[in-house]
Amino acid sequence: METRQLAAALRKKAAEVRNVASTTEEEDKTLRDAADLLSVLAHVVDGKPLAKAFGSPGDWGYETAIGAAIAAAPVTPNNQCNRPA
């Protein structure tokens, strides 16, 4: 499967989502999260391991659902980058 085109399309969509005007702070945060998740998906399509694609809990904020889930994920040899030293 040729994945470069899909990854490029996901990155383009992420940029479009980032540029959508929002009327509230909550909408703005939701749109930023959506754009970030599209970028994560593009990294996965590129072949990056899921743990590395998401990054560290602090990238999302430890208080967020995604950050908390990354912090709670079990440490394995393939995703050690997710846990702070």
Residues 41-56 pLDDT 10s: 999 999 999 889 999 9
Residues of the chain with pLDDT under 70: 1, 77-85
Among 45, 49, 44, 22, CA closest to 33:
22
pLDDT of residue 21: 80
| Domain boundaries of the chain, sorted by first residue | 4-82
Half-sphere exposure of 10 (CA within 13 A, CB side): 17
pLDDT of residue 20: 87
The share of the chain scoring above pLDDT 90, in percent, equals: 41
pLDDT of residue 73: 86
pLDDT of residue 85: 44
